Amino acid sequence: MSVLFFHAMKYKVQDPRNASNDRFVLSKGHAAPILYSVWAEAGFLQETDLLNLRKIDSVLEGHPVPRQAFTDVATGSLGQGLGAACGMAYAGKFFDRASYRVYCLLGDGELSEGSVWEAMAFAGFYKLDNLVAIFDVNRLGQSDPAPLQHHVEIYQKRCEAFGWHAIIVDGHSVEELCKAFGQAKHQPTAIIAKTFKGKGISGVEDKESWHGKPLPKNMAEQVILEIDEKIQNKKKLSPALPEEDAPVVNIRNIKMPSPPSYKVGEKWATRKAYGVALAKLGHANDRVIALDGDTKNSTFSELFKKDHPSRYIECYIAEQNMVSIAVGCAARDRTVAFASTFATFFTRAFDQIRMAAISESNINLCGSHCGVSIGEDGPSQMGLEDLSMFRAVPNATVFYPSDAVATEKAVEIAANTKGICFIRTSRPENPVIYNNNEDFHIGQAKVVLKSKDDQVTVIGAGVTLHEALAAAEQLRKEKIFIRVIDPFTIKPLDKKTILENARATKGRIITVEDHYHEGGIGEAVCAAVVGEPGITVNRLAVSHVPRSGKSAELLKMFGIDKDAIVQAVKVAVSKSRNAE
């Protein structure tokens, strides 16, 4: 850390987030005290601040978080720092075209995480020669030695196989480290540092069971004296200043260059409307970027790639890394990142999404192919847990557009919204129901069908909104009228509109969704109306693991098609009549 911060890195100490500074990611986030110590030595923190480590009124938390001006991404869930560093390096090389470099320190324990090797493959493939990963191979994990212990030559071979220039060094040798950091190649560099935990401390060096433990007070005092005696030069060190060549970037208030251009009644899949909207947004701001995991011809992010090839990042089938790359690209507000894949494949990246929220990242994720309505591909491809997952993410916004116009508006709004945004898109083609000048807002539902005689409020989204409208048409012939609501955002949910319309329809709500019962629209509505007198909610949703079949067959099988809605409405109305 000393060599890195006071020899290799170039940065402005009092402006840690300067766009031209070299970046540093502490992937082994539990080593946070050394990061804080470095910034105190550099002069950004006061040494007295270090004594408040992990206290509730201190910014110096147990693991790095962006509340600290010198921390770009939160770490501590191991194996994720390198992916974010890859995103920063990619942005630096291909978008900023600036001279800043990115350094990432990893522990050998986290090298068992597959996400590390997804990032290694990404960096090797894209030849991120502005990226340096440092492996701290100290042999010891938390409860046991790491699997390769001190076999540094195996780490070297692995790194080389992934397209990295790999150097083995004595991690305690200032000279070897200075030399290693000075080696520039046309590929990413991995510095494999053989170290000993507790180096120089008798009874602690290279011993197990010291992970995360402070030394006893009397022992600590003796060790501090011994270390102090070894310091030959107490001259204050200062880092070199960066070359200020990162461009000024403005990603505020991005507006579509023109309104949507759809015709009411035309059939469009919202997944395709997403691709059209994203490509259009790319013309509005050259900092809008798209990422995908080899599904661009299904999510339609290929339309963005066609218009803006230099701003499209193919992440291949590595969804965990794709999310981390997006977080890295979006750090320091360098880009507006949209990453897409099938909604169900984001479930494998949930930890990365969770950490992105802790990182206060502003990434936008689009999950296509949601629900049983995708049809024949079967349950492994069906997003049925995604609403539940994204609703649980702090400060997330969950969009569920029901037609092409709403999808285009969701993309535009997401680009300008803080926090994690998730846009849920569908495979089937459904009619456009909104005019191009329709206004959409987060947390504002649309009442798409209404009359003074409505007896039940039906809430649907995506394909089930269209099933609800078809059910309304059928019921109207029998003189039964229903109110139909499109929530637009599932989080936040428009509680006010839902309650107003429920009360106007005798307190009766039916929710219908192409998602499992748990954590979806039905539960969101129940949470919104809990404690409200006279309100009943009947939830129609996918009840168990589905199977292959035609879209219409599966909607029918799981009781979320127009016939199921008709039946549920009739039951609700007859119950009321019987009660009267």
Q: Which residues are catalytic?
A: 319
**Residues with Cβ < 8 Å from 242, sequence gap 6 or more?**
10, 11, 12, 18, 20, 21, 22, 99, 100
What does the block give as tokens for 28?
């082994």
What are phi and psi for residue 479, nearest 5 degrees? 65, 30
Q: Look-up: residue for tokens 């997804």?
A: 118
Q: Of 472, 408, 413, 467, whose CA–CA distance to 434 is shortest?
A: 408
Distance CA 578, CA 24 (A): 69
What does the block give as tokens for 279?
């490509």
What are phi and psi for residue 96, nearest 5 degrees? -80, -30
Q: Quick one: angle between helices 319-330 and 81-90, nearest 10?
A: 50
Distance CA 373, CA 525 (A): 22
The SS3 of residue 115 is helix
Distance CA 326, CA 518 (A): 28
What are phi and psi for residue 283, nearest 5 degrees? -80, -20
What does the block give as tokens for 415?
């680009």
Q: Of 338, 354, 315, whose CA–CA distance to 410 is shortest?
A: 338
Distance CA 494, CA 499 (A): 9
- Residue 136's identity, in one-letter code, is D
Distance CA 181, CA 297 (A): 41
Q: Look-up: residue for tokens 């790999």?
A: 166
- Residue 178's identity, in one-letter code, is C
What are phi and psi for residue 373, nearest 5 degrees? -65, -10
Distance CA 72, CA 88 (A): 10
- DSSP for 524-554, please give it: HHHHHHTT-TT-EEEEEEE-S------HHHH
**Residues with Cβ < 8 Å from 303, sequence gap 6 or more?**
275, 276, 278, 279
**Residues with Cβ < 8 Å from 562, sequence gap 6 or more?**
467, 468, 470, 471, 474
Edge to edge, the sheet with strand 456-460 lists 446-449, 482-486, 456-460, 508-516, 536-542
What does the block give as tokens for 176?
């070897």
What does the block give as tokens for 194?
């053989």
The conformation of residue 239, written as its DSSP 8-state character, comes to: P
Say if residues 430 and 455 touch (Cβ distance below 8 Å): no
